[in-house]
Amino acid sequence: MIRIDLPVWLHEVADFDRIYATREERMQLCIALARENILRDRGGPFGAAVFECESGKLVGAGVNRVVPLNNSVLHAEILAYMSAEAWVGSYTLAADGLPAHEIVSSCEPCAMCLGGALWAGVKRIVYGATRDDAAELDFDEGPVFPESYNYLRARGIEIVPGFMRAEARAIFELYRDEGGPIYNA
């Protein structure tokens, strides 16, 4: 049996009735999700959310659930894509009639999550901490190359790297201080 649950507290942190009008507000939410995931659930130090690009409407959110649910693919971005697709009722966020969507993540997406952006249909990827920041904590983000980003850009996906990097990177220090496991080293 496979069961995927977002933490019950997620809706306390992510307000689906609120408009996140600025990029700062969107990243602050993702950082808050990552922080709460460490403190409340002993989960990985990653948070992500999907927003309508123009309106700032939150349509999906996720936190890393790899360790709590014993499942290597339950990264924050993957769960954010899944919850957004369920919310809009489509297997793609690029379906006819839907507004453009973006994924905002507290950390640069790993190889799986970066590839997932293309299939999910987002038009923009915004991330805070970098893969180098994650590597300092001994997380391995997998085979992501400059060509990976060039491929996504050629497919019409905008990349906004290192946004609020210092604030997002601070979550890794909290994770280290709390003794969180490095599960993919």
Q: What percent of the chain has pLDDT over 90?
A: 88
User: What stretch of H or E contains 59?
Assistant: strand 58-63
Cβ-based neighbours of 170, under 8 Å, separated by 6 or more:
none
Mean pLDDT in residue range 45-64: 98
> How many residues comprise the chain?
185
Q: Is 177 a residue whose pLDDT tops 80?
A: yes
Q: What percent of the chain has pLDDT over 70?
A: 99
**Structural domains of the chain ordered from first start:** 10-175 (3.40.140.10)
Contact criterion met (CB below 8 Å) for 80 and 60? yes
Task: State how far the Cα of 15 lies from the Cα of 183, in Å rounded to an integer.
Answer: 30
Contact criterion met (CB below 8 Å) for 26 and 101? no
CB atoms within 10 A of CB 49: 30
pLDDT recorded at residue 185: 64
Q: Tell me: the pLDDT tens digits for 126-158?
A: 999 999 999 998 888 899 999 999 999 999 999
Split at pLDDT 50, 70, 90, the class of 74 is very high
Global pTM reads 0.96
Q: Tell me: the pLDDT tens digits for 90-125?
A: 999 999 999 999 999 999 999 999 999 999 999 999
Query: 126 φ, ψ to 5°?
Result: -120, 130
